[in-house]
Structure 1
Amino acid sequence: MDEQQNKELEAFIDKVMGETSLESPSPDFTEKLMAKIETQSQKQVFVAHPLLPKKLLTFLFLAFVAGFIYLLMTYGLDSSQGWFKNIQWNYDFSKTWSWMEGYTASKATLYAVLLFGVLFFVQIPWLKRYLDQHGTLG
Structure 2
Amino acid sequence: MSENVNKYLDDLSKKVIKGSDIESPSFNFTNLVMSQIEILNKKQTIAYKPLISRTTWVLISIGVLAIIIYVLFFSNPTEGSSWLSQLDFSLLSDNKISNTIPDFKLSKTLMYAVVLFGLMICIQVPLLKNHFDKRFEL
Normalization by structure 1: what TM-score? 0.50
TM normalised by structure 2 equals 0.50
Greater helix percent: which structure?
Answer: 2
